[in-house]
Amino acid sequence: MEFLDLPPMLGARGTVRLPGSKSISNRVLLLAALAEGETDIRDLLASDDVERMLDALRALGVAWERTPGRDDYRVTGVGGPFPVKSGELFLGNAGTAFRPLTAALALSGGHYRLAGVARMHERPIGDLVDALRQIGADIRCTANEGYPPLEIRPADIRPGGVVRVRGDVSSQFLTALLMALPLTGEETVIEVVGELISKPYIAITLDLMARFGVRVAPDATWSRFVVPAGARYVSPGTVFVEGDASSASYFLAAGVIGGGPVRVEGVGRSSIQGDVRFAEALEQLGARIVMGDNWIEASAPAGGVLRAFDLDLNHIPDAAMTLAVAALFADGPCRLRNIASWRVKETDRIAAMATELRKVGAVVEEGADYLCVTAPARLLPAEIDTYDDHRMAMCFSLVALGECRVRINDPKCVNKTFPGYFPAFAAVARAVPVVAIDGPSASGKGTVGSMVAKALGWHHLDSGSLYRLTALTALRDGVDLDDEIGVAALAAALPARFDGDRVLLGDEDVSDEIRDEAVSVGASRVAVLPAVRAALFGRQRDYRCGPGLVAEGRDIGSTIFPDAPVKVFLTASPEARAQRRYKQLKEKGLPANMESLMQDLRERDARDAARAVAPLQQQPDAVLLDTTSMDVDAAVAFVLDLVRDRGLAAG
C-alpha cells in the first residue's frame, strides 16, 4: 500500500489557485456534447472523473480536442441524442458521469452497457432508473436491481406528462433528468418525491443549462420543475469553469486552523457553487473570512480557537466533511447534522469518518444521518485509511496542522478530483523545520547538534543515544544482542528521557554509562537489526515539535526525516575523529588507547556503511561539512548559516 507521511505543521498561509470544479466540468462537457455548435471550455478540471466523461463522450461519437499543454477543450456538439447507437462504457467511480449519462443514453435510442468500479456498483441508481422507466426507457440492472452495472436498450420513449423522482438519496438523479429531458423536445414536468437534498447542486445544473439556452424554473419549494417544449441546447461559445469550491474547503480550513491567511483563487462571491457557503459555516466557528468576486481568504478566529458547532450541513455535504476534521480543533463537542447522503458517496463517509477520527484520539458518536465529534486533548499520530475516497485523504491532511504527524494511505486517490492536492497543501502549510545531521562516529555531530539547537531555541535529538540505551538495557537484562525480536521489544518500551544534555532511563541518569566501550560496541551491533530500527522509528519522529528540531545520527536525513529542509553530512578524517574521541575520553577521566580507538572507529564505520537497512551515506541533498581542520564554533556557524539561508530562523 502506498502512503504519504505528512510532518507536523506549525501553521498555514499563502495562496492556492484551485483546480476546476468537478461538478461544473462534467456538466458542461455533457451539455456541450448535446448542444448545437462548438463550445470552448476553459480551465476544465484535469482528474480521473473528468477523464471518464471525456472517454465516454468520444466513444459516443462526440468530437473534442484539447489545446496542448492547457486545460482548455473544444467540444463539437452533436445537437441532440448521441449519434453512436451502441457501446460499452466504463465510468470508474464517477457519479457525475454515470448518472447524467444514464439518463442521456436512455433517451438516445441505442443499446449501451454502463459499468464502473466495484464501489460504483454499490452506489444506488434505482430512483433514477425508475424515473426513466416512467417515460418508457428500457433499462436493466444486470447484477442487482437498483444498482449498476446497467444495460440500456432502444425503447419507445413517451415523454410529456409528469415524471416522479426521489430527491432524498442523491440530487444527481434530478440533475440527470433535468439535463436529459430537453432531448425529447416535449414539455415534461418533474416532481420531486421526498425532501430534495443538496439543493445547491441542482442550482449549478439549472444555471449551466440556462447558459446552454434551456431555462427551467423550479417552484418555490423546489419540488416541481417544468422542462419546456421545444427546448434544445445551443453552445454559448466559451465557458469558463470555476475553481472547485469543495476543494477550496481544505485550504480555507487550513487558514483557519493554521493561522492564515490562506487565499483560494478561482471561487468567490459570484460563484454558482453552493459549496462556497462553506466559508459561512467557518464564520460561525469564529473564522475570519474575506471574499472577493473570484477569491476567498480565511484566517484563524481572533482568539485563535475555533468555536464548537452544531450545524445542519445538508446544503454542503461534500465540504461538510472538512468540518468533521476541523472539529478536532474546536473548543467543545461538535455536531454535523442532516448528512445522510454521506452514506452513498465514494464510501460510507459517516462510518469512514468516525473510524478515522477515532484513530487520532477523537470521541465520535455516529448516527444514521449525523456525527458528533469531540476533540482529544492532544491529537495522536495515526495511519489514516482513505477508502478510495479523495475527500477522506484531503480532509485528514489537516490533522498535521495540529502539530501532529499523520500518514495518509493510498494518497493517489485524490486524483479523482485534485491530482495536485498534496503539493498544493505543502506549499501553504509550514512543516516543523528539522536540521538533520548525519555522519560517522566522533565527527562532532552531538557537539555541533546540541549547540545549534541551543542557538536556535529548538529541540535536540541525539538518536545515537537511543541505540546506546537499547544496548545498555539489553546488556543489563541479559538479552542477547543478536536476539532481534527481544532487543526490538526493549527498544519499543525504553523509558528514555532527555534533560538538557543528560540522558535518563526512567529516573536514572545514565549519561556516562552509555558512553562505555561495551555499550558503544553494543549500540553499533543492535543498530544493524531492522526490527530495532523499526521500533525506534516513530519514537524519533515524535521529537519533531515546534519551533524546530535538530537531530543527529546516521539515517536522519535519509529515513527518519527525509523532508528535512536542512541536511548536513558531518565528517572528518578517521585520524582526526580518533584523536577527538581520545581527548574526549581522557577529559572524562576514562581509559583510552589510540590504537584500539582507531580500530573500533574503522569497524563501526564499516558496519554503519554496510548494513542493509538505513546505511550511513551522504544524501544527494545533504551539504558536506568536513571538519578535519575546522573548530567546533566554525562548524556550528556553518550550520546556522544554512538554517538562516533557508529562511527557517531569523538573523
Ligand X SMILES: Nc1ncnc2c1ncn2[C@@H]1O[C@H](COP(=O)(O)OP(=O)(O)O)[C@@H](O)[C@H]1O
Site residues for ligand CDP per CB under 6 A: 441-442, 463-465, 467-468, 523-524, 527, 553-556, 604, 608
**Binding positions for ligand X, 524-583, rule CB under 6 A:** 580
Helices (H), 241-296: 245-257, 278-284
The amino acid sitting at 196 is: L
Mark the segment that binds ligand X (CB under 6 A) among 16-24, 296-304, 329-337, 625-633: 625-633
457 has binding-site annotation: no
Cα 329-330-333 angle, rounded to 5 deg: 125
Q: Would the annotation count 345 as a binding residue?
A: yes
Residue type, 259: G
Give me 353's grid cell.
Answer: 469518518
547 upstream amide cis, omega within 30 of 0: yes
* Cα three-residue angle 646-648-651, rounded to 5 degrees: 95
Choose between 88 and 501: whose C-beta lies nearer to ligand X. Answer: 501
Which of 315, 445, 460, 468 lies at the binding interface for ligand X (CB under 6 A)? Answer: 445
- Residue burial 156-168, b: 16+ Cβ < 10 Å; e: rest: ebebeeebebbbb
Q: Are strands 371-374 and 363-366 parallel, antiparallel or unpaired?
A: antiparallel
Nearer to ligand CDP, 346 or 462 (CB): 462
Amino acid at position 465, single letter: S
Residue 411 is labelled as binding a ligand: no
How far apart CA 66 and CA 59 sit, in angstroms, is: 16
Q: Cell numbers 432531448 label which residue?
A: 183
Q: Provide the minimum distance between the beta carbon of 648 and ligand CDP in the complex, in angstroms, as a whole number.
A: 22
Cis? peptide before 149, omega within 30° of 0: yes
Strand, coil or helix: what is 225? Answer: strand
Contacts of the segment 630-635: beta carbons below 8 A, 24+ positions apart: 632/444, 632/447, 632/448, 632/451, 635/444, 635/448, 635/570
- Is 199 known as a binding-site position? no
According to the annotation, is 318 in a ligand binding site? yes
Nearer to ligand X, 86 or 573 (CB): 573
Residue 632 interface partner, choices ligand CDP, ligand X, none, CB cut-off 5-8 Å depending on type: ligand X
CA 645, CA 91: separation in Å to the nearest integer?
Answer: 49
Are residues 253 and 325 in contact, defined by beta-carbon separation less than 8 angstroms?
yes
Look at the alpha carbons of 628, 630, 632, 634 in this order and tell me if their dihedral is positive or negative: negative
From ligand X, ligand CDP, none, which one binds at residue 470 (CB under 5 to 8 Å depending on kind)? none
318 is catalytic: yes
Least separation in angstroms between CB 528 and ligand X: 18
Our CB check for ligand X shows the closer of 315 and 460 to be: 460
Confirm if 161 and 188 have CB atoms less than 8 A apart. Answer: yes
Give min distance, CB of 3 to ligand CDP, in A.
22
Cβ closest to ligand X, residue 99 vs residue 554? 554
Q: Find the shortest distance in angstroms from Cβ 633 to ligand X.
A: 8
447 touches 631 (CB < 8 A): no
Question: Residue 123, annotated ligand binder?
Answer: yes
Min dist CB 452 to ligand X, Å, is 12
Question: Which residue carries 493554521 as its cell?
Answer: 258
Which partner from the list ligand CDP, ligand X, none does 95 bind, CB cut-off 5 to 8 Å by kind? none
Q: Hey, what's the cell of 167?
A: 430527491
Report what 627 binds from ligand CDP, ligand X, none; CB cut-off 5-8 Å by kind.
ligand X
Return all residues near 587 (Cβ < 8 A) that are at least 6 apart. none
Identified binder of ligand X from the candidate list 444, 522, 548, 557, rule CB under 6 A? 444
The answer to whether the CB of 343 falls within 8 A of the CB of 354 is no
Question: What residue number has its CB nearest to ligand X?
Answer: 444
Cell of 291: 471574499
> Nearest-CA neighbor of 514 among 529, 528, 530, 501?
501
The answer on whether 442 is annotated among ligand-binding residues is yes
DSSP 8-class letter at 234:
B
For ligand CDP, the closer CB: 31 or 452: 452
Strand runs (DSSP E) across 20-124, as ranges? 38-42, 63-66, 73-76, 86-90, 111-115
By beta-carbon proximity to ligand X, the closer residue of 149 and 557 is 557
3-state class (DSSP) for residue 335: strand
Q: Return the residue matching grid coordinates 478510495.
A: 388
Does position 584 interact with ligand X (CB under 6 A)? The reply is yes
| 580 touches, from ligand CDP, ligand X, none (C-beta below 5 to 8 Å by class) | ligand X
Scanning 61-69, 150-158, 254-262, 445-453 for contacts with ligand X by CB under 6 A, the matching segment is 445-453
284 annotated as ligand-binding: no
Asked if residue 540 belongs to a known ligand binding site, the reply is: no
Q: Which residues contact 548 (CB under 8 A, 6 or more apart)?
A: 432, 433, 434, 435, 456, 458, 459, 648, 649
Could you give the 3-state DSSP secondary structure of residue 562? Answer: coil
460 lies in the site for ligand X, by CB under 6 A: no
Q: Which lies closer to ligand CDP via its Cβ, residue 491 or residue 643?
A: 491
* Residue 630 is a binding residue for ligand X (CB under 6 A): yes
User: Could you say which of 193, 217, 493, 632 contacts ligand X (CB under 6 A)?
Assistant: 632
523 binds, among ligand CDP, ligand X, none (CB under 5 to 8 A by kind): ligand CDP
Q: Is 170 annotated as a binding residue?
A: yes
Sign, Cα dihedral of 407, 411, 417, 420 = positive
- The verdict on 631 binding ligand X (CB under 6 A) reads yes
Number of shown-chain residues binding ligand X (CB under 6 A): 15
Which of 447, 524, 559, 619 binds ligand X (CB under 6 A)? It is 447
The binder of 555, among ligand X, ligand CDP, none, by C-beta within 5 to 8 A per type, is ligand CDP
Taken in order 351, 356, 359, 364, the sign of the CA dihedral is negative
| Spatial contact of 608 and 616, defined as CB atoms under 8 Å apart | yes
Distance CA 551, CA 641 (A): 17
Partner that binds at residue 553, options ligand X, ligand CDP, none, CB closer than 5 to 8 Å by kind: ligand CDP
Least separation, in Å, of the C-beta of 435 and ligand CDP?
A: 14
Q: Smaller CB distance to ligand X: residue 142 or 584?
A: 584
Name which of ligand X, ligand CDP, none residue 630 binds, using a CB cut-off of 5 to 8 Å depending on partner kind. Answer: ligand X
In this complex, which beta carbon is closest to ligand X, that of residue 446 or of residue 546? 446
Q: Is 618 in the site for ligand X (CB under 6 A)?
A: no
Q: Is 546 within any annotated ligand binding site?
A: no
- Residue 93's binding partner out of ligand CDP, ligand X, none, with CB under 5 to 8 Å set by partner kind: none
Identify the CA nearest to 408 among candidates 416, 350, 421.
421
- Minimum distance of ligand CDP from residue 580's CB (angstroms): 10
Catalytic residue of the set 43, 318, 462, 608: 318
| Binding residue ranges for 3-phosphoshikimate | 22-23, 27, 170-172, 198, 318, 345
User: What residues act catalytically?
Assistant: 318
Residues lying near ligand X in the complex (CB under 6 A)? 439, 441-447, 580, 584, 627, 630-632, 635
| Binding residue ranges for ATP | 439-447
| Binding residue ranges | 22-23, 27, 95, 123, 170-172, 198, 318, 345, 349, 391, 416, 439-447
| Binding residue ranges for phosphoenolpyruvate | 22, 95, 123, 172, 349, 391, 416
